[in-house]
Amino acid sequence: MPARDPTGWASLKPLRRHLVGSIVLVWFSIWLNSGTLAPYASTLATPEVGEHCGYLFNWDHAHHIAQFRMLEGAPYEEWEFCVHLRRILYPLFTIAFMETLGFDWGGVLSNFLIYALTLLGLAYFLNKHVGRDAAKAGLWLLAAYPGIAYYGGLPYSYTLLVPGFLAGFLLLEAISRAEHWKPAMGYALLMGIMFTGYDHYAFFIPATGLVLLLRRKLFWIPPAVGLMALPLVIVVITLVYGFHADLFKVNHYADVVNAYLDGGDLQVWAWYLKQVPMIFLDNLLFSSFLFLPLGFIACWILNRMGPRLPFTRAETCLLIVVGLLWAFNNFAPPYEGYKGWQVRGYWIARIYQPLTAVLLVYLCRIHQASVERGGVCQRNVRIVLGIVLVGNLLTSFSGILGFRPGHMVLNMYYKHAERSQEMLTPKRYVTYMSNRYYADNLETHGKRPVGFCRENSR
């Protein structure tokens, strides 16, 4: 990607209307998906109901509260059960907001700030390395992205999932272009800091190693991997020896490794393997909330007939790693994971959401190339991006709008209410896609974002 505008942050001034507009949009998306409207809670069969205002929370709510209780110096018994303790970046960033404004408003306002910074960072990268039209498209596509709506209204560490994989991918692009080892190592360290917010290391450490291998920078790989691991290692050592925390209660990937080592019932394994093609299509489409993958496929086809932009090295490597991790999870022999959890199947497409970073940046690059090319190519790409934008907006605001197809898209991203491993016929799959829980919960508890308590609350 050749540099287009080397003038720094001042180069974003022509984009200020798009920046302000997209930030306002993402703030509305977060707020209108908070309270009883939060999809990560409301797509459950029986979400937790808050005592004060009747807002809805996920079943893991106590685990997310425990992170803050640990930082506040609460007794060991109040937080030792938490399985998220290693994801310390979010509670460290937001604890001042929480203590000042309370858990609900403190979380929402801190999420406002996090996503404003995310939009700013994406705009800077695209404007500098791709072009101004790409930056405009990227701002609106990200602001409308349902992955923000899904988690953003809750004060959970999952808020850093989207900023984390976007930052990881942009840093991967920076490493792929770095001419000297010092800046490359700095990017690796920044990536490692993001791993203390969410567990993206399974994607970005192998992708970084692959990028450097393709660049023939073999001597850069060990220090880069070490720096990416360093922040998380420091966090783990601090928690284990300073707080005496047990961080090794759950390890889903260890269960998969053991499955390959131990083998299993061949008949059951064959039963799983028959579902693999349909699972692949499901996970591809719904890990990024349907419209972005469909837009990517359409633009890839248009690109073959038009500008013929190749994938960048970073895009290629991340696509390969995501594909390999998907195959590792879904071709595994049968196993019984923690509480019966499987990291395979239709229900957990969310694992592969880092793919979104490639899809989003690729769409923006195609848009920039189509603008420069003009004519039919530009018109067709704009139509595709318009459909993606409208589809994502309808999905992001499907709770407040009562838009049932949007409920379905949110449900298929993470079907955590029903962790089914059954064999699905096409007819049964259509039934499986439906989500009655979201609509039922909104009817039962009302459509009340943060700031609107239930009438009988004190």
Q: Report pLDDT for 252.
A: 77
Q: How far apart are the first and last CA of the chain?
A: 57
Q: Report pLDDT for 6.
A: 45
Q: Report pLDDT for 104.
A: 86
pLDDT digits (tens, 9 = 90+) for 297-316: 999 999 998 888 999 999 99
Nearest to 116 by CA among 34, 193, 30: 30
pLDDT digits (tens, 9 = 90+) for 242-263: 998 887 766 778 889 989 998 8
CA distance 33 to 395: 11
Please give the model's pTM, rounded to 2 decimal places: 0.94
Backbone dihedral angles phi then psi of residue 313, each to the nearest 5 degrees: -60, -40
427 CB-near residues (< 8 Å, 6+ apart) = none
CA distance 75 to 8: 47
Q: Report pLDDT for 5.
A: 46
- Three-state SS for 67? helix
Q: Report pLDDT for 211.
A: 98
CA distance 132 to 368: 8
Q: Report pLDDT for 421.
A: 58
Q: Report pLDDT for 370.
A: 95
Helix (H) or strand (E) holding 331: none
DSSP readout, 265-288?
A: -HHHHHHHHTTHHHHHHHHHHHTT
Q: Report pLDDT for 265.
A: 84
pLDDT digits (tens, 9 = 90+) for 401-456: 999 999 999 999 998 877 665 666 677 777 777 778 999 999 999 999 999 998 76
| pLDDT < 70 positions in the chain | 1-7, 249-250, 338-340, 419-425, 456-458
Q: How far is CA 214 from CA 171, 191, 218, 306, in A?
A: 17, 20, 9, 27
